[in-house]
Amino acid sequence: MKKRWRLLGKTALALVLAAGMVLTPMAQSTEVEAASLNSLQQKQQELQQKQKENEEKIASLKQDTAKQQEYVNTLKEQIQNVQEQIDGLNNQINLLDESIHAKQQEMDEKEKSVNDTVEQLRERLKALYLAGEASTLEIVLNSESVMDMAQKLELVNMVVDHDTALIDSLRGEAEEIAAQKKEIEDQRAQVADAKTEIEQKSQELGSLQQEAQKALEELQGQEADAEAEQKRLQQEEAAAADAIDAWYREYQKQQEQNNNSGGSGSGSGGGSSGGGDRVGTGSLIWPTPGMTRISQPYKGRAHTGIDISNGNSYGRQIVAADSGTVIYAGTNNTGTGMWTYGIYVMIDHGNGMSTLYAHCSSVSVSPGQTVTKGQEIARVGNTGNSFGAHLHFEVRVNGSLTNPMNYFQ
């Protein structure tokens, strides 16, 4: 692109040289020269417009990226919360597993006690069975009295009843422990089901996060591409501005050569003075008599001149800030508002200085015309890239932009 601008700059300079050698009348020469300058300015404006559109794209992408990042962060928080729930349910399951294990141990102990008691009772009953009636007869014969016999028989029955009651009690406790164990197992099953459901939700959130992260990275990539494009456009616009500066330098060089060779002069007349109010005591007079409010200051290539306006600017008089020769006046037959400057006037003041008056509503001079300081050259308007009636005023010295305020006192 820079190479293309060098070629464009060279073409513009070639046009300037050709105009100086072939076209003798000043009006024809300045028209060709201004046409080449307009071509450079048009390219610069196109790049500026692309930058503006790209800036809006970058701003939109930044908003989308910020929203997407917020969405990704929200999903991360949700996943973290779900994982904490899963961790809590895992802890519950572990505690329930411990309780189930403890209940199982209790059941095993109770069942062992029941089995031991049953075994003891079985052994006693077996012994009584084997003893048979002889044992009962022995009890009767060995009893000292009927009362003694009854007590002994009752004692035997009590032992049997006690063992039976003990077995029943142990079995009841075992059944109760089994019921408690089942209740814990049911609770564990519920917790496990809840964990499964939450794990499924976690997987869904994880999938959403992956998709959101991918979309975020795509937006970030688009933003990076747009910023790289903006940097490229800025570089190209700077190259376009350099080409315009080169045009001015070459123009000044040609004018000096014409003056030195005795050809058609530039009509610098810098020392002459004309009518109109004067602001300060510098080498330039204020270009808008009675309208001195600066709505936008000079900012180098960010804003190449000063904007002058007030509440009732449209149609106000614009005068030549110094004597000189009109380089260009009009819009290059493109209609108002096509290029940045709209309708504008350029004046060469000699000694390397030139001024530009942009966004005019009309002009009252023509290319090649000699003007005097303070002479009316145009009227304030709102043409070109303008958002309200005002005068955009530029000063160049040896082809380079400079702050116009340096030349007012």
Pick the CATH number of 266-409 from 3.30.1490.20, 3.40.50.150, 2.40.280.10, 2.70.70.10: 2.70.70.10
In this structure, are residues 188 and 96 in contact, taking their beta carbons and an 8 Å threshold? yes
CA 52/CA 58 separation, integer angstroms = 10
Burial of residue 359 (number of CB atoms within 10 Å: 0-12, 13-18, 19+): buried
Mean pLDDT of 225-250: 91
Give CB contacts under 8 A, 24+ apart, made by 166-171. Answer: 166/117, 167/114, 167/117, 167/118, 167/121, 170/110, 170/113, 170/114, 170/117, 171/114
Can you say whether the dihedral through the CA atoms of 37, 39, 40, 44 is positive or negative? positive
Burial of residue 324 (number of CB atoms within 10 Å: 0-12, 13-18, 19+): buried
Domain boundaries, the chain: 1-265, 266-409
CA 340/CA 356 separation, integer angstroms = 13
pLDDT at 119 over 90: no
Q: Per the structure block, which two tokens stand in for 152? A: 């002994």
Predicted model pTM: 0.58
Secondary structure of 63-89 as H, E, C letters: HHHHHHHHHHHHHHHHHHHHHHHHHHH
Mean pLDDT of 334-341: 53
SS3 category, 306: strand
Angle at 203 between CA 202 and CA 205, to 5 degrees: 65
Which residues make Cβ contacts (< 8 Å) with residue 338, sequence separation at least 6?
Answer: 42, 331, 384
In tens, the pLDDT along 307-332 reads 999 888 999 999 999 999 998 898 75
Query: 1-265 domain in CATH 3.40.50?
Result: no
Q: Which of the pair, 17 or 253, is modelled with greater confidence?
A: 253
Q: Which of the pair, 99 or 37, is modelled with greater confidence?
A: 99
Q: What is the largest CA-CA distance in the chain?
A: 171
CA 148/CA 260 separation, integer angstroms = 163
In tens, the pLDDT along 359-403 reads 999 999 999 899 999 999 999 999 988 889 999 999 998 888 999
CA 356/CA 320 separation, integer angstroms = 9
Q: Give the best-scoring range by mean pLDDT among 160-174, 231-245, 252-266.
A: 231-245
SS3 category, 132: helix
